[in-house]
Amino acid sequence: MANRQAPGGGADPGSVLVVIPTYNERDNLEPIVRRLFRALPAAEVLVVDDGSPDGTGEVADRLAAEDERVHVLHRSAKAGLGAAYVAGFEWALARDYQAVVEMDADGSHSPEDLPRLLGMLGPNGAGADVVLGSRYVPGGRVVNWPWYREVLSRGANIYSKVALGLSINDITSGFRVYRHEVLRALRLHTVASQGYCFQVDLTWRSLEAGFVVVEVPITFVEREHGSSKMSGAVVREALLRVTRWGLRRRGNQALELIRRR
């Protein structure tokens, strides 16, 4: 894989945008933003709210009025995690941020881990283009998850890893950092996947494009307030899309073998 690096090394802390998608996260949003700025004072935040009926959007607007580092993108309806992130990424690219972070609003991702993740970017770190906060590498762990959620998550990662022929252990991780060159190259307007599948999709696209993806261990903590957005529809979408991508990969391998013969 080609190692594409930004001139001058890793991300300038002042050029980091943390994209936080929200839907009914009123009780979680302000605490996580406060923690983020304590951990990374020079970063900025974009809250992408999908018309939360609980008033999350109003909380985000208040935070933005109080702190110029906070920005808000209001969307009229709940259109899914993938669409929210794509909107946030396009907003970031239009403003030329050098590193863009995915992070949940519910406290399951620790902002205190961000300096380690950002430190892996560029030649001053591990030369990474994409950094995944990984639950399933040595040093990573999950706290307070019910056993069936962990089984589902681990199973989804193993299935995706085998189907797509990848060496990534936590391809569904929603805590990650992209160099802006990666997002510019990924043709975001063609991304239609959501949920778990969105994370798989962008990781696979990054690797297929020749970018360097590394994993950093994190501790994932189950949310204390609100309810998970996981649903049967999200799981079915991931299973169907990953299976389709895996079959296409196998088909391409077969065609290449035939051409060689």
Does residue 214 sit within a domain? yes
What mean pLDDT comes out for the span 97-121? 95
Tell me whether residue 208 is in a domain.
yes
> What burial letters (b/e) apply to 4-16, b meaning 16+ CB within 10 Å?
ebbeeebbeeebb
Q: What is the three-class DSSP state of 95?
A: coil
Which CATH number characterizes residue 27's domain? Answer: 3.90.550.10
Which of 33, 27, 98 has its CA nearest to residue 70? 33
- Tell whether 7 is covered by a domain: no
In a domain, 5, yes or no: no
Kindly state the tokens that stand for 86.
């794509």
How much is the average pLDDT of 96-107? 95
Alpha-carbon distance values, 225 to 145, 222, 228 (Å): 14, 9, 9
pLDDT (tens digit, 9 = 90+) per residue, 44-96?
999 999 999 999 999 999 999 999 999 999 998 777 889 999 999 999 999 99
Strand order in the sheet with 70-74: 70-74, 44-49, 16-22, 99-102, 176-179, 130-134, 213-217
Looking from the CA of 79 toward its CB, the CA atoms found within 13 Å total: 15
pLDDT greater than 60 at residue 10: no
Residue 136 resides in a domain: yes
Structural domains counted in the chain: 1
pLDDT digits (tens, 9 = 90+) for 29-46: 999 999 999 999 999 999
For 33, the token pair is 């933003």
CB contact at 8 A, 98 and 15: yes
pTM of the model: 0.85
Residue-level pLDDT at 111: 96
Residue 197 lies in a domain: yes
pLDDT band at 13 (very low <50, low <70, confident <90, very high): very low
Give residue 220's domain range. 13-260
Compute the distance between CA of residue 98 and CA of residue 101 in angstroms, rounded to an integer: 10
2 within a domain of the structure (yes/no): no
